[in-house]
């Protein structure tokens, strides 16, 4: 089933913005990156714009301009805080916007991730999600010392051996999400009974062992944290090819994809919908969001000049896996309309400069979309799932025992 | 000349998964909703407490192969809840219990350094260790750790995280927009650790946090635990909240510091303590009695006896006499995931002692458990409790207490409003926070200053 309601909008927050020279803009506040206030201000701005959610990038190693190794550069932002903790720190300061931190499935424990995101859901009263990511990077594996990964480049990932490696890591990520989701369901909603007459705090028949056995780990359960407010917080993932599309189709509520034109968007959506059917989820609402990097200004020449200025500072033209859009909010609204017609149900915009392009989204693009009648004028639901039109799922174990 | 008055340290333990917590009281609220944690933390901060403390358990407890259902069950994720509490408090320290067995040093260091940044220097880590396969069934590692290796792993885990915290000096981020230099040093965060339990290397990706390192708590009571604390911790979470036992523990542990080149004020001793507070001493005694009966229902009493007997005793009447049969001393414990099991090291002797006590006092099973179990440490009017706490601290039974109320989340309110002002009047407890970080509250130096001091001394 594909959704047909109005357009959904998320913003991806990463440091001072997605352009590597973004930190040099006067609005960038690079010295505040490791403070709560910096993130609180960005998320408050996103909430002012009625966006569905923000995602927070993360990683287990220093940022690098190379995919598979550190670059030793000192002219770009390096270092970051744990994304789940940033999201949680911000949650009590916001009321409506969804909070979707990145988690790395490759080196973390699904048991810890499950209770962390469940807790984020409690702390935000139903606005939590996660963006699951893998890491094939040898230097990040060395931080854990439990597995060694051979060196790699983006080109190598396209070879059959590289694809096999990716498939294995994505299979592990799929297991990770499966465990996380089972743990969220491992308590039925009404398991806490506080029955003073019998002295029982819980009805233990409503708690369930998940008994997961997989190639990389096994997990017994149940969770130590009761089922979160949304039942199942939002699961999201980014994909650029068939292997990750399969993870999206099997396990995600929102997939992020990177088409560069409407035709590509149509093809990607078709592939994901086919995988979704193959995974037996044809009847479920699965959002497919387009990712775009944006340079937004009221004057298109100003946006282009800004991009050129940042490229000059960086010493090279900015490139991305996603389409890089440079122009006005009205032009972007046109493009989003074309992509939406091709089957995308929403967008995750990556502000090139967080301090500039995020306000341009909330104060320029959002009013433009509202004028066109394709974006909300007020938050209309209390939970992130609600904002996205996703029902609160039934508990798989309750259904099984009923 | 008399000793100068010691300043008391107070902390608040969020009530939780144990039978101290009375969930059946009409005033008892949620143990999971954030509003409960926020209320509790704000009360502790209003009372100028040093920190809030969270316990942890990574698998639900079981008895006789079934999930234990008589106490509060369920709790949130420690790091996540502490980060959120940083948003609703300004000064309160945020102490989390984090297991060194089912985590990795790189990840825990990232989380604590992040929490320290996001709270402006208020994070603390209660390092605990676990080895049991029961808990391990929830984790990739499984139950791999032999019991005798748990402290060696914990010590190496802690040392490794300290290396990661220290891998940034604190001045690497220049972020000079004009020159385009973000990092002063391309090698910032470099680390190599090669040891028995961990072999890791690379570059840590969280810059140095306001406290340099989070404050470290340790909770073990064994010989090894005491040495570990004396060598590596800033504070001990002890269980000796009586005067004599407290003094013995205090003296023992403080005397171990010298051999690690540490001063006595570099390790605080903070027992967990419960209390029953009412307008008068007599009313408090009555409240304490009622609370103890709420804490130990008949069913709870039977389950408690099973920790020692290691047998199914469900057929016994809690209002009747103790079992005639002896405890099962095999290693296959009926209770899983509970610290109490290890408290009774000689079950046969405990059973014998309990039978004698019960017979002499004509106690039922429930009476026995109520009378031998955890009595409230401080019982009385605000004046009595304030006086007693101060006496204990001045007599070196502790440096303060981590208070565990029996009700969530309002169990601390009366203490904050009635006892704290009396301690402030006596000049033994702060009337306001003197600095922004938890190290300030605890009177602990910043690690960089300690190193400077050591360099100057050598």
pTM of model > 0.90: yes
Helix axes B365-372, B347-361, angle to 10 degrees: 110
Interface touch B60/A143, C-beta < 8 Å: no
Contact of A123 with B34, CB cutoff 8 Å: yes
The chain A residue lying nearest B161, using CA atoms, is: A143
* A202 three-class SS: strand
A125's torsion region: left (phi>0), alpha (psi -120 to 50) or beta? Answer: left
Confidence of residue A2 (pLDDT cuts 50, 70, 90): very low
Surface-to-core class of residue A264, CB atoms within 10 Å of its CB (0-12 exposed, 13-18 middle, 19+ buried): middle
For chain B, say whether A31 makes contact (Cβ under 8 Å): yes
All residues of chain B having their beta carbon less than 8 Å from the beta carbon of residue A79 are 173, 183, 188-189, 205-207
* A265 three-class SS: helix
Among candidate residues B406, B456, B412, B378, the one with its CA nearest the CA of residue B25:
B406
Judged by CB atoms within 8 Å, which residues 83-142 of A form the interface with B? Answer: 84-86, 88-93, 107-109, 111-112, 115-116, 118-120, 122-123, 125, 139-140, 142
Confidence of residue B450 (pLDDT cuts 50, 70, 90): confident
Give the mean pLDDT of chain A.
96
Q: What is the pLDDT of residue A83?
A: 98
For chain A, say whether B46 makes contact (Cβ under 8 Å): no
* A58 three-class SS: coil
Helix (H) or strand (E) holding A169: helix A160-185
Tell me the per-residue pLDDT of B228-261, one tens digit each, with 9 for 90 and over. 899 999 999 988 888 999 999 999 999 999 999 9
CA–CA dist B259, A293 (Å, integer): 59
Helix (H) or strand (E) holding A276: helix A262-278
Interface touch A202/B86, C-beta < 8 Å: no
All residues of chain B having their beta carbon less than 8 Å from the beta carbon of residue A176 are none
Confidence of residue A276 (pLDDT cuts 50, 70, 90): very high
CA–CA dist B221, B239 (Å, integer): 8
The number of C-alpha atoms within 13 Å of B296 and in the hemisphere containing its C-beta is 25
**Per-residue pLDDT at A399 exceeds 80:** no
Q: What is the pLDDT of residue B222?
A: 84
**Hey, of A31, A186, A201, A217, which one would you mutate to test binding to chain B, going by the most B CBs within 10 A of its CB?**
A201
Q: What is the pLDDT of residue B378?
A: 97
Q: What is the pLDDT of residue A184?
A: 98
Judged by CB atoms within 8 Å, which residues 167-196 of A form the interface with B? Answer: 187, 192, 194, 196
CA–CA dist A214, A212 (Å, integer): 7
The chain A residue lying nearest B72, using CA atoms, is: A201
Interface touch A62/B205, C-beta < 8 Å: yes
Determine phi and psi for A254, rounding to 5 degrees.
-135, 130
* A310 three-class SS: helix
Q: What is the pLDDT of residue B342?
A: 62
**Per-residue pLDDT at A253 exceeds 60:** yes
Helix (H) or strand (E) holding A335: helix A329-341
Q: What is the ipTM of this complex?
A: 0.97
Interface touch A80/B203, C-beta < 8 Å: no
Confidence of residue A152 (pLDDT cuts 50, 70, 90): confident
**Per-residue pLDDT at B343 exceeds 90:** no
Which residue of A61, A85, A194 is in closest CB contact with B203?
A61
Cis peptide leading into B409, omega within 30 of 0?
yes
**Per-residue pLDDT at A1 exceeds 80:** no
**Per-residue pLDDT at B340 exceeds 70:** no
B149 vs B154: which has the higher pLDDT: B154
All residues of chain B having their beta carbon less than 8 Å from the beta carbon of residue A111 are 58, 102, 138-139
Contact of B236 with B219, CB cutoff 8 Å: yes
Interface touch B76/A118, C-beta < 8 Å: yes
For chain B, say whether A24 makes contact (Cβ under 8 Å): yes
Which residues face B336 on adjacent strands?
A: B62
Q: What is the pLDDT of residue A377?
A: 96
**Per-residue pLDDT at A4 exceeds 60:** no
Contacts of A205 (CB under 8 A, 6+ apart): A401
Tell me the per-residue pLDDT of B154-180, one tens digit each, with 9 for 90 and over. 899 999 999 999 999 999 999 999 999
**Per-residue pLDDT at A35 exceeds 50:** yes
The chain B residue lying nearest A112, using CA atoms, is: B77
For chain B, say whether A149 makes contact (Cβ under 8 Å): no
Confidence of residue B148 (pLDDT cuts 50, 70, 90): confident
Q: What is the pLDDT of residue B422?
A: 98
**Per-residue pLDDT at B341 exceeds 70:** no
Confidence of residue B456 (pLDDT cuts 50, 70, 90): low
B73's torsion region: left (phi>0), alpha (psi -120 to 50) or beta? Answer: beta
Which residue of B75, B182, B184 is in closest CB contact with A224?
B75
Tell me the per-residue pLDDT of B3-45, one tens digit each, with 9 for 90 and over. 789 999 999 999 989 889 999 999 999 999 999 999 999 999 9
* A250 three-class SS: helix
Interface touch B69/A144, C-beta < 8 Å: no
Q: Supply the DSSP symbol for A25.
A: S
CA–CA dist B394, A401 (Å, integer): 59
Which residue of A78, A89, A224 is in closest CB contact with B83?
A89
Q: What is the pLDDT of residue A3?
A: 42
Which residue of A89, A109, A225 is in closest CB contact with B140?
A109
CA–CA dist A107, B149 (Å, integer): 23
**Per-residue pLDDT at B279 exceeds 70:** yes
CA–CA dist B65, A209 (Å, integer): 12
CA–CA dist A282, A269 (Å, integer): 13
The DSSP code sequence of A91-151 is GGG-SS-EEEEEEETTTS-HHHHHHHHHHHHHHTTS-BEEEEE----HHHHTTTTS-----
3-state secondary structure chain B: CCCCCCCCEEEEECCCCCCCCCCCCCCCCCCCCHHHHHHHHHHHHHCCCCEEEECCCCCCCEECCEECCCCCCCCCCHHHHHHHHHHHCCCCEEEEEEECCCCCHHHHHHHHHHHHHHCCCCEEEEEECCCCHHHHCCCCCCCCCCHHHHHHHHHHHHHHHHHHHCCCCCCCEEEECCCCEEECCCCCCEEEEECCCCEEEEECCCCCECCECCEEEECCCCHHHHHHHHHHCCEEEECCCCHHHHHHHHHHHHHHCHHHCCCHHHCEEEEEECEEECCCHHHHHHHHHHHHHHHCCHHHHHHHHHHHHCCCCCCCCCCCCCCCCCCCCCCCCCEECCHHHHHCCCHHHHHHHHHHHHHHHCCCHHHHHHHHCCCCCEEECHHHHHHHHHHHHHCCCCCEEEECCCCCCCCCHHHHHHHHHHHHHCCCCCCCCCCCCHHHHHCCCCHHHHHHHHHHHC
Which residue of B86, B186, B297 is in closest CB contact with A199?
B297
Q: What is the pLDDT of residue B458?
A: 57
Q: What is the mean pLDDT of residues A74-80?
A: 98
**Per-residue pLDDT at B411 exceeds 70:** yes
For chain A, say whether B35 makes contact (Cβ under 8 Å): no
For chain A, say whether B279 makes contact (Cβ under 8 Å): no
From the CA atom positions of chain A, what is the Rg in Å?
21
- Name the minimum distance, in Å, from the CA of B53 to any CA of chain A: 17
CA distances to B7, B79, B265, B273, B420 from B430, in Å: 8, 28, 18, 20, 9
């Amino acid at each position: 089933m594909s959704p047909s309601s109005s357009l959904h909008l998320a913003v991806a927050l990463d440091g001072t913005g997605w352009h590597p020279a973004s930190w040099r803009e006067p609005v960038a506040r690079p010295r505040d990156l490791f403070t709560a206030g910096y993130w609180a201000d960005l998320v408050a701005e996103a909430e002012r714009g009625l966006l569905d959610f923000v995602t927070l990038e993360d990683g287990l190693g220093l940022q690098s301009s190379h995919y598979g190794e550190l670059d030793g550069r000192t002219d770009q932002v390096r270092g970051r805080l744990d994304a789940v903790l940033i999201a949680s720190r911000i949650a009590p300061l916001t009321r409506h916007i969804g909070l979707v931190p990145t988690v790395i499935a490759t080196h973390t424990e699904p048991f810890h991730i499950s209770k962390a995101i469940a807790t984020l859901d409690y702390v935000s009263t139903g606005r939590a999600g996660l963006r699951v990511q893998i890491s094939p990077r040898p230097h990040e594996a060395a931080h854990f010392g439990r597995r060694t990964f051979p060196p790699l480049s983006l080109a190598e990932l396209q070879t059959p051996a590289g694809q096999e490696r990716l498939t294995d890591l994505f299979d592990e990520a799929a297991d990770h999400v499966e465990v996380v989701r089972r743990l969220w369901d491992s308590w039925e909603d009404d398991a806490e009974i506080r029955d003073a007459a019998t002295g029982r705090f819980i009805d233990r028949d409503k708690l369930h062992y998940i008994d997961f056995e997989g190639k990389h780990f096994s997990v017994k359960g149940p969770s130590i944290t009761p089922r979160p407010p949304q039942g199942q917080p939002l699961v999201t993932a980014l994909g650029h090819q068939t292997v990750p599309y399969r993870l999206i189709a099997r396990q995600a509520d929102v997939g992020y994809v990177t088409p560069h034109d409407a035709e590509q968007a149509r093809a990607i959506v078709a592939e994901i919908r086919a995988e979704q059917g193959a995974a037996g989820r044809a009847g479920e609402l699965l959002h497919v969001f387009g990712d775009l990097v944006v340079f937004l200004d009221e004057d298109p020449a100003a946006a282009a000049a800004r991009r050129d200025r940042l490229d000059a500072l960086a010493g090279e033209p900015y490139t991305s896996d996603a389409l890089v859009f440079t122009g006005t909010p009205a032009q972007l609204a046109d493009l989003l309309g074309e992509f939406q017609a091709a089957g995308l149900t929403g967008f995750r915009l990556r502000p090139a400069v967080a301090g500039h392009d995020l306000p341009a989204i909330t104060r320029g693009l959002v009013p433009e979309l509202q004028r066109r009648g394709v974006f909300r004028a007020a938050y209309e639901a209390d939970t992130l799932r609600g904002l996205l039109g996703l029902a609160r799922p039934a508990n798989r174990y309750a259904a099984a025992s009923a | 000349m008399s000793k100068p008055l010691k300043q008391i340290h107070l902390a608040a333990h969020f009530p939780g998964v144990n039978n101290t917590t009375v969930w059946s009281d009409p005033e008892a609220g949620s143990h999971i909703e954030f509003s409960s944690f926020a209320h509790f933390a704000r009360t502790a901060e209003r009372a100028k407490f040093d920190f809030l403390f969270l316990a942890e358990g990574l698998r639900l407890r079981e008895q006789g192969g079934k999930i234990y259902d008589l106490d509060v069950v369920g709790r949130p994720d420690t790091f996540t809840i502490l980060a959120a509490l940083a948003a609703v408090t300004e000064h309160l320290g945020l102490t989390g219990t984090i297991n060194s067995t089912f985590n990795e040093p790189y990840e825990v260091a990232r989380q604590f350094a992040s929490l320290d940044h996001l709270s402006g220097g208020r994070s603390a880590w209660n390092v605990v260790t676990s080895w049991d396969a029961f808990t391990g069934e929830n984790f990739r590692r499984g139950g791999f750790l032999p019991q005798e290796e748990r402290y060696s792993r914990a010590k190496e885990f802690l040392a490794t995280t300290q290396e990661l915290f220290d891998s940034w000096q604190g001045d690497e981020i220049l972020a000079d927009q004009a020159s385009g230099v973000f990092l002063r040093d391309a090698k910032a965060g470099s680390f190599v650790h090669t040891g028995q339990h961990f072999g890791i290397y690379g570059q840590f990706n969280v810059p140095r946090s306001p406290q340099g390192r989070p404050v470290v708590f340790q909770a073990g009571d064994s010989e090894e635990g005491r040495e570990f604390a004396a060598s590596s911790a800033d504070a001990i979470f002890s269980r000796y909240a009586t005067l004599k036992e407290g003094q013995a523990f205090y003296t023992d542990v403080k005397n171990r510091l010298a051999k690690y080149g540490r001063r006595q004020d570099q390790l605080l001793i903070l027992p967990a303590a419960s209390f029953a507070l009412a307008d008068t001493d007599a009313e408090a005694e009555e409240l304490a009695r009622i609370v103890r009966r709420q804490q130990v229902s008949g069913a709870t009493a039977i389950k408690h006896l099973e920790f020692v007997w290691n047998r199914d005793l469900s057929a016994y009447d809690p209002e009747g006499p103790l079992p005639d049969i002896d405890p099962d001393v095999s290693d296959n414990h009926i209770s899983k995931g509970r610290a109490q099991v290890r408290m009774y090291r000689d079950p046969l002797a405990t059973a014998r002692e309990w039978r004698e006590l019960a017979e002499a006092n004509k106690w039922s099973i429930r009476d026995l458990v109520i009378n031998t179990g955890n009595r409230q440490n401080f019982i009385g009017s605000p004046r009595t409790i304030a006086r007693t706490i101060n006496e204990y601290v001045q007599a070196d039974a502790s440096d303060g207490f981590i208070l565990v109320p029996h009700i969530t989340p309002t169990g601390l309110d009366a203490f904050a409003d009635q006892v704290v002002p009396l301690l402030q009047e006596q000049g033994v407890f702060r009337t306001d926070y003197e600095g922004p970080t938890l190290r300030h509250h605890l009177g602990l130096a910043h690690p960089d200053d300690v190193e400077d001091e050591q360099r100057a001394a050598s």
